[in-house]
Structure 1
């Protein structure tokens, strides 16, 4: 059984390996890992998923990072984390998320979870220390998706 809870610890470094599954650039992850709210998914006392949600302004929150361990993917855990994050939002609030332009699995996942396209952050991944690839294609732009709660 999957348990979703808010991470209440002060030291989030234990979550770093999971956060790096969702965003491979350690500099980027370190820049935001201590911000916002963190939800964790646990199975048999093992943390298998994480979602980091930051407040952009009074009406917008952003999913900065979402990851599930490879052995637990495709079991609905990511969707449960997104649903739990939505429950913590104020009705009418806008939730946004960005993912790589060639990361078709992530795009499909977010569409299935109610997000819709609203923009592109051109050249976003050029700031990363090393190139990131999805489906054999180097990520360049970040595709932005949104939904209203």
Structure 2
């Protein structure tokens, strides 16, 4: 297994990034200013993008694993790599996600990875996407931010 930092031609990973953020124009807002990491195990399994938000805070903007590889630990390995990579550079990592109970359970951030619920941005998905976003039949409305001390 190998995790690579991707500095050029980041759009080659767009199809995988779209699994976690389904509107390309939203990905365009952070892709070039973010650090992209790709996890390979024979072939590409998972990617993530992390951006600088302030002197002390970085944000996990996108993390995606091909569906057929869900449950194999690739996302967790990628998360632990970026925790290590950014420790000492930033004091806090944040991540925003939809307000669907399934998404929060899926990520299981609070138990496995030390994330705590930080705050909510009302109507984020309504105000920032050009179409309604649904997850498991539930329309996403608010963005829930989680925070982790690095």
TM-score using structure 2 length: 0.91
Once the two structures are overlaid, the 10-residue window that deviates more, 118-127 or 27-36, is 27-36
> How does 1:33-48 map onto structure 2 within 5 Å?
33-44=31-42, 46-48=43-45
Tell me, yes or no, if structure 1 residue 133 matches structure 2 residue 130.
Answer: no
Q: CA RMSD in A?
A: 1.4
Tell me, yes or no, if structure 1 residue 7 matches structure 2 residue 6.
Answer: yes
Consecutive aligned runs of 4 or more in structure 1 exceeding 4 Å deviation: none
Change (3 A) 1:106 1:42: farther
Unaligned runs of 5+ in 1: none
Q: What does residue 146 of structure 2 align with?
A: 145
Distance 2:101 2:41 in 1: 27
Unaligned runs of 5+ in 2: none
SS at match of 2:18: helix
Q: What does residue 124 of structure 1 align with?
A: 124
**Cα shift at 1:124:** 0.4
Distance 1:104 1:35 in 2: 29
Give deviations 1:25-80, integer Å, cap 9, x for gaps: 11101121111211111121x21111100010110000011100001111111111
**Cα shift at 1:105:** 3.4
Distance 1:80 1:70 in 2: 16
Contact 2:121 2:144 in 1 (8 A): yes
SS at match of 2:19: helix
Distance 1:47 1:108 in 2: 21
Contact 2:122 2:142 in 1 (8 A): yes
Contact 1:99 1:107 in 2 (8 A): no
TM-score using structure 1 length: 0.91
Distance 1:106 1:18 in 2: 20
**Cα shift at 1:103:** 5.0
